Amino acid sequence: MKAYKKIGAILIAFITLSGFTVISKIDGGGTWDRYIETAAKKELVVIDYVCISACNLLLASPKLQVSKYAEFGVHETRWVEFGKSYLTGKRSEKKTNEFKTKLPTCAVKLFESKHAFDKGQPTYFTGEEVLKACPQIQEFIEK
């Protein structure tokens, strides 16, 4: 991962209180629901650090800004029994395809170009790669 300046705690608090969503730390994903809800709110979403797994669903946000220094970790979707490790799960073709339908087509094409949906371990993409593949996404430039 590339090292770069982190956003200060005061700025994060301000942005959160102002109705923005900022990924300024490693977001390892989790269940899809919260990301789908955030993307549907039509509030500004800024991805400025590491976004892995379900966090990538934020790429569907209509008001999205991505730092060229951000990183996106993409992998196949697995069916995991409650309380078990992701690594013990089995690939779910159905869920992987459903996940793809929730992303912008440009992001799916980029991720598929490196077979990211075919692996259990994340394949990483830079914010710069995402911005190039998806010109409709605005670049986040820290001021």
- The predicted model gives 83-87 an average pLDDT of 57
Which fold, 9-139?
A: 2-enoyl-CoA Hydratase; Chain A, domain 1 (3.90.226)
Q: What's the pLDDT tens digit per position in 91-138?
A: 889 999 999 999 999 999 999 999 999 998 999 999 999 999 999 999
- Of 25, 49, 31, 52, residue with least CA distance to 116: 52
Identify residue 15 by its one-letter amino acid code: I
Residue 91 tokens, joined: 């690939």
Question: Does the CA dihedral 106-67-33-38 come out positive or negative?
Answer: negative
Q: Where are the domains of the chain?
A: 9-139
Indicate the average pLDDT of the chain: 84
How many angstroms separate the CA atoms of 33 and 43, rounded? 16
